[in-house]
């Protein structure tokens, strides 16, 4: 902890003394613009009423936030007091400026937007910081971040590699590391780009690092000798004095309401039984948006009512119900109708109370002629509970389903395993899938209200599901 604080103080002092930041910070301006565009897309036209900016620097992003949302309450923070003063000069007095460490945000939420441009590479524990920031978001709130990543300054590192001391530039996080910076219950993902900058010579590049406060070497680095530095500068200039910046952007959103989307690795895996157990455990609302197969069964909504004895008003009517035991899209076409995607809007009754939304089939089942079940999960923004078999064949189906969810930036609340306990499969899914196992439900010889009540008593509470530290 002491070393972390000392490093933090060094970072703060470098940025406080970076008098030439405004003139030199070309890529920082580019990153601020890119991040601003991405967070606007993620907001989807919504106007945030309360905004928290981390590491505002001299206000490149702050100014854009104020111009876009002049009525919003904006709290701009930075660890370096002198940077805050420069931001004030740029963005004006209608913003609240505050000295704050992004790694330990001592501020009260909720915020509709939390953002930070090129700040996360300086944090010692970025994953923990993201989880803390998640707790400060309002429902449907957006967390938008950018960071430097591995490959930044690769030309300078190559020029220095032949010397014993090597380059002192920080070891920026790799793509794999950044992809793991996820608050588990936020939907979204990271993407990246490269920016190339040319300098007049090697000394201009080193001066640029100093002017932008980025000259702090990695921990434990011993500076190279003057002779080694001159040789490195010569090699760097022979390569054209070109520098590549690798930038990663992450935009994440909190669910618009309390609840989960229940899906399975395939049909018949136990989604409805698990949904009933969750409804019972959380006294939750229930919604089956699309129901097919009514020619052969009563449907999942009546089944939930029978198994949970919940208030009928707490089971919402489907947006579409069809006779044929086919995918919703195919079943609708068999009846000569089509499903209007506009009807598939997430129900917002009692938004602070958890709702269990049960999908039809698996993730890649067509909901309409243009929308798959996974598209609905992404659209609604609810974290997914994935129901899987516990036995033979589950690894491939479960890990592929988790990969499909992650590729679409869909949050995963956890996996429920149905069937005889299988410790090896449980461990493999948890480790390889990087996911919580919410429950293991043993084989039920009889599916009844009594068995639902027994299993529900063993499930994590809604508060425990939302406790990402578990």
Active site members: 288
322 vs 303: CA distance, rounded Å: 16
For the chain, the residue count is: 470
189 vs 133: CA distance, rounded Å: 16
As beta bridge partners, residue 357 has 261, 287
The residues, ordered by sequence, that sit 6+ positions from 203 with a Cβ below 8 Å of its Cβ are 233
134 vs 392: CA distance, rounded Å: 37
Query: What does the block give as tokens for 139?
Result: 């429902």
Query: Is the previous residue joined to 341 through a cis bond, with omega within 30 degrees of 0?
Result: no
- What is the distance in angstroms between the CA of the first residue and the CA of the last residue of the chain? 22
101 vs 116: CA distance, rounded Å: 12
Exposed (0-12), middle (13-18) or buried (19+): which is 96, by Cβ within 10 Å? exposed
SS3 16: helix
24 vs 207: CA distance, rounded Å: 9
Exposed (0-12), middle (13-18) or buried (19+): which is 17, by Cβ within 10 Å? middle
Q: What's the Rg (C-alpha) of the chain? A: 26
| String of DSSP letters for 21-85 | HHHH-HHHHHHHHHHHHHHHHHHTT---SEEEEES-TTSHHHHHHHHH-TTSEEEEEES-HHHHH
HEC-encoded secondary structure of 325-375: CCCHHHHHHHCCCCCCHHHCCCCCCCCCCCEEEEEEEECCCECCCCCEHHH
The string over 126-162, giving b where at least 16 C-beta atoms fall within 10 Å of a residue's C-beta and e elsewhere, is beebbbebbebbbbbbbbbbbbbbebbbbbbbebbee
SS3 293: coil
371 vs 174: CA distance, rounded Å: 34
Query: What does the block give as tokens for 290?
Result: 């699309």
Which helix or strand (DSSP H or E) is residue 379 part of?
helix 373-380
């Amino acid at each position: 902890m002491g070393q972390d604080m000392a490093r933090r103080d060094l970072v703060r002092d470098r940025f406080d003394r970076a008098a030439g930041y405004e003139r030199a910070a070309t890529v920082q301006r580019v990153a601020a613009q890119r991040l601003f565009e991405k967070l606007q897309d993620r907001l989807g036209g919504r106007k945030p009423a309360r905004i928290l900016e981390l590491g505002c620097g001299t206000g490149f992003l702050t100014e854009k936030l104020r111009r876009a949302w002049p009525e919003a309450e904006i709290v701009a923070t930075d660890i370096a007091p002198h940077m805050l003063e420069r931001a004030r000069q740029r963005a004006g007095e209608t913003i609240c400026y505050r000295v704050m460490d992004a790694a330990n945000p001592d501020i009260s939420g909720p915020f509709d937007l939390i953002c930070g441009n090129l700040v996360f590479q300086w944090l010692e524990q970025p994953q923990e910081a993201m989880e803390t920031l998640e707790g400060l978001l309002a429902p449907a709130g957006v967390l938008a971040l950018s960071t430097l990543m591995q490959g930044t300054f690769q030309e300078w590192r190559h020029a220095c590699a032949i010397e014993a001391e090597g380059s002192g530039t920080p070891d920026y996080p790799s793509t794999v590391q950044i992809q793991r910076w996820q608050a588990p219950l936020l939907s979204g993902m990271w993407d990246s780009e490269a920016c190339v900058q040319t300098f007049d010579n090697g000394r201009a590049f080193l001066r640029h690092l100093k002017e932008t406060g980025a000259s702090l070497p990695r921990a434990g680095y011993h500076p190279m000798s003057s002779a080694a530095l001159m040789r490195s500068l010569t090699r760097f200039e022979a390569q054209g004095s070109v520098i590549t910046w690798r930038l990663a952007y992450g935009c994440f959103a909190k669910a618009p309401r309390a609840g989960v989307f229940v899906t399975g690795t395939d049909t018949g895996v136990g989604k409805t039984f698990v949904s009933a157990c969750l409804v019972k455990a959380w006294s939750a609302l229930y919604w089956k948006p699309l129901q097919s197969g009514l020619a052969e069964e009563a449907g999942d909504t009546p089944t939930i009512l029978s198994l949970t004895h919940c208030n009928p008003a707490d089971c919402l009517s489907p947006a579409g119900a069809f006779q044929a035991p086919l995918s919703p899209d195919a079943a609708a076409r068999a009846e000569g109708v089509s499903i209007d995607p506009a009807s598939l809007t997430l129900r917002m009754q009692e938004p602070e109370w958890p709702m269990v939304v049960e999908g039809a089939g698996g993730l890649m089942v067509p909901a309409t002629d243009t929308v798959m079940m996974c598209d609905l999960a992404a659209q609604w923004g609810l974290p997914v509970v994935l129901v899987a078999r516990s036995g033979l064949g589950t690894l491939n189906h479960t890990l592929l389903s988790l990969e499909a969810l992650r590729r679409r930036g869909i949050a995963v609340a956890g996996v429920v395993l149905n069937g005889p306990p299988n410790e090896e499969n449980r461990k493999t899914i948890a480790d390889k899938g990087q996911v919580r196992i919410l429950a293991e439900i043993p084989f039920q010889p009889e599916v009844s209200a009594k068995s639902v009540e027994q299993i529900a008593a063993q499930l994590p509470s809604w508060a425990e599901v939302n406790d990402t530290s578990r």
